[in-house]
Amino acid sequence: MQDIVLETALDWRAVAAVADGAALSLSDSARQRVETASRIVAAIVESGARAYGVNTGVGALADTVVDRPSQSRLSRNIILSHACGIGPLLDARAVRAIIAAQIANFSHGHSGVRPVIVETLQAFLREDCIPEVPAKGSAGYLSHNAHIALVLIGEGRARLKGRPTSGAEALKTLGIEPLVLQAKEGLSLVNGTACSTGLGSLALARAERFLEWADAIAALTIEALGCQAAAFDGPVLALRKSKGIAKVGRVLRERLAGSGLIEAAKGARTQDALSLRSVPHAHGAGWDVFDFVGSIVDQELASVTDNPAVSGTPEAPLVSSEAHAVAPGLGQALDSLSVAVSQISAMSERRIDRLVNPLVSGLPAFLATDPGAGSGFMIAQYTAAALAAENRRLGAPASLDGGVTSALQEDFLAHPTAAANKLLAVIDNAEQILGIEFAAAAQAQDFKVAVAPRAKGTDALYRHIRAVLPTYADDRPLGWDLEKARDLLRRTPPPGI
């Protein structure tokens, strides 16, 4: 995997690549920006000018002055007190994504951490040292980042090349001394939107794979049910203006090109049910939202999200208290992608029902090879319906949750991290629903072999799943098959035509 070099900013694809194992290095100019910002903070400390989080407390303690001998202790105490996440641990990819986004924020040159902090975070990525970060407990961005910072100072816990260990032992194994934080460094390490942008980047990568598979699997179902493909003709879809609709229409036409099953069903009905006929519209809307959210995450990664921001020069330092660590736009965007993915997976569940329902499918009841003695995919549809219902509940916007913290000082919360975690949970469910449709569509295709040949594009999909899943005959626990189908979607892109 190619390493990522940070020049001026990362985009979400670069963050996702680091999550998948790429190393991250800084260009000379990026390193210089970090060094200059560190010197600016040192100059502020030397001057004694009041600066939030440098020589004052944080949150509601912003007006409490911290004397110079206590400023290093302030930084350490911020890490210890803010590391109060709870719940299950984030996986390694998620933590790597957060670290990548954090390095990107520091590299803008307005945070003021010393280069050694960035270098140690880079070492974590390079040496597969993954701090243990609880998934829950962040109203904005603080607790996740604090748990990563614990390991920098020799506290907390980590997994070093997959082996659980203490933060102190991890540093010792890597030959790194625990860092003694200087003024502002504790605040910078917990501040900013690295958590939500990192998790958002990871979610975008998974959402893109999900959308690709959703388009492909829908084509397999459309063919198995003998749909009227004229609804997907280019000139017809062009009447509704949407890049996403045009994109999905092209995929369906390519996947279904030359299908004997589609030709055999031509004219069999005037129009199909909306879960089939409006695939370009629902999936296309998802692609449009995906593109928008990608632009918002990239915008966030290109932005300074530290408070305060330092600027100027070491000779003429400036410090600005602002609200750049608050990210309402990011929370709203991630919420919108949750809705889009939830809707597409709900439509997938409706197609599953049409595949298994003998009242509309024209196929054996519940796709059973021996209906009556066997239930086939009857209960698989129940599973899909339950997951779709859960996604509807998760579709409520986290960005509207609100809340008041820090003695009324932080009386507006945008919840971008909650929105990112919720989006990842929605994608988990959506991938499984789509895996069920994949397995059911392949089963339906088994009953159509004698009718007419499949298209080349759908046959590639059929062969892809049949390489790991034989036809289901009520001869094994079906849940295992459904998980294997889901894992296919997670591991690989749809096979080419």
Positions annotated as catalytic residues are 52
CA nearest to 251, candidates 457, 433, 15: 457
Question: Is the N-terminal amide bond of 178 cis, ω within 30° of 0?
Answer: no
Q: Are 123 and 160 in contact (CB under 8 A)?
A: no
Encode 143-155: b = buried (16+ Cβ within 10 Å), e = exposed.
bbbbbbbbbbbbb
> DSSP letter at 462?
H
User: Can you spell out the DSSP letters for 202-242?
Assistant: HHHHHHHHHHHHHHHHHHHHHHHTT--GGGG-HHHHTTS--
Going from the C-alpha of 2 to that of each of 5, 17, 22, 23, 79, the distances in angstroms are 9, 9, 6, 8, 33
Going from the C-alpha of 486 to that of each of 209, 465, 490, the distances in angstroms are 12, 10, 7
Determine the Cα–Cα distance for residues 374 and 481; give it in Å rounded to an integer: 16
Residues sharing a CB contact under 8 Å with residue 369, sequence separation 6 or more, in sequence order: 376, 471, 472, 473, 474
Q: Map tokens 């303690």 to a residue.
A: 61
Determine the Cα–Cα distance for residues 198 and 183; give it in Å rounded to an integer: 25
> DSSP letter at 2?
P
CA nearest to 66, candidates 55, 51, 77: 55
Tell me the two tokens of residue 149: 């910072």
CA nearest to 9, candidates 93, 101, 98, 122: 101
Across 353-404, the runs of DSSP E, i.e. the strands, are none
Q: Are 480 and 238 in contact (CB under 8 A)?
A: no
Cα dihedral: 103, 108, 113, 118 (round 10): 30
